[in-house]
Copies of this chain bind each other. A is one copy, B any other.
Amino acid sequence: MKTFACMAAAATLLAFVAPASAQFAKPEDAVKYRQSALSVMGTHFGRLGAMANGKVPFDAKVAAENAELVAVMAKLPWAGFGPGTDKDPRSKAMSEVWTEQAKFKGASDKLIAESTKLAAASKTGNLDALKTSFAATAETCKACHDAFRNK
């Protein structure tokens, strides 16, 4: 059982990290990619937040566009956290990203799931639905930043 669990963990780990090493020529390319994807996502998420928090008027079409982009971008950064990408001085990623990979993958999967719901909620044109789903998605951002990102 212990062997099986260990193999399963190794398989999960491999599935998670294999694309990164295959997809980026250099570790710094992976770091730049993940930071860029997170930055673009953050910009569009921020625009939703401005509407959810009443700082700008709610515009259903703009909200739907931004939420769709957040959902697309949410899937991208994780491939950039592969082996050898943990030593970049420009990165705020904690070592726990690599030492607790299953937990990190769980955190990124939560963002993907919540941002997908957020995109669906935004398409309803209902501000309350947007607010609820925005808050749930923001919670996944915060949880992951608290556990895996240096200040």
Contacts and interface: CB of A to CB of B under 8 A. Distances in A.
Contacts of A124: none
A32 B23 contact: no
Nearest to A43: B33
Given A23-B47, A32-B39, A36-B36, 17 more contacts: A23-B43, A24-B43, A29-B43, A33-B39, A33-B40, A33-B43, A35-B36, A36-B37, A36-B39, A36-B40, A37-B40, A40-B40, A40-B73, A40-B76, A69-B72, A69-B76, A72-B72
Interface of A: 23-24, 29, 32-33, 35-37, 39-40, 43, 47, 69, 72-73, 76
Contacts of A36: 35-37, 39-40
A26 to B, nearest CB: 12
A55 to B, nearest CB: 11
